[in-house]
Amino acid sequence: MKFKKGNRWTNGKSELRYRTWRTNVFKLNKGRRGLSKVYVCEKCNKRRKTTRVLHAHHIFSWKKFPKLRYDKRNGVVLCWKCHNGFHRKYKWDALENPRLLEEYIKKSDVIKEYIDKNIRSIK
């Protein structure tokens, strides 16, 4: 992943925290699936040995929910096609409403439980 000048990184510490979060999301993905050699897209179940074509996506948006930014459970692994498809379908509404990810993926009880738990604590 390349970090370009002018994006959200204000210093090396926040970049390091993000990279650590991303790594933890991918490790959690392997653990949830009971796999040791491959990562799996939550939407289409595409399996890959590397993270090159997979993205770590925030369930609760980076901007609107800063307290959950680096929580590893606040991440879900999507392949680039599913990730782009999600943002094309829901656009800016996804920033406000984490339930849209649950609706998009449809079959993840872990994501549903995480959203339910954190929506109660935010309100």
Segment 64-75, tens digit of pLDDT: 999 999 999 999
Q: Long-range CB contacts (< 8 A, 24+ apart) of 5-8?
A: 8/62
pLDDT band at 14 (very low <50, low <70, confident <90, very high): confident
How far are the Cα atoms of 31, 40, 61 from residue 36, in angstroms, in the given order? 8, 11, 28
What is the biggest distance separating any 2 CA atoms in the chain, rounded to whole angstroms? 39
What is the SS3 assignment for 42? coil
On the question of pLDDT at 81 being above 80, the answer is yes
Find, among 28, 35, 22, 1, the residue nearest to 110 by Cα. Answer: 28
Write the pLDDT tens digit of every residue in 15-41. 899 999 999 999 999 988 877 889 999
What is the SS3 assignment for 63? coil
Q: What angle do CA 75, 3, 40 make, to 5 degrees?
A: 30
> How many other CB atoms sit within 10 Å of the CB of residue 76?
28
Q: Write phi, then psi, for 21 (nearest 5 degrees).
A: -60, -45
On the question of pLDDT at 10 being above 90, the answer is no
The answer to whether the CB of 53 falls within 8 A of the CB of 87 is: no
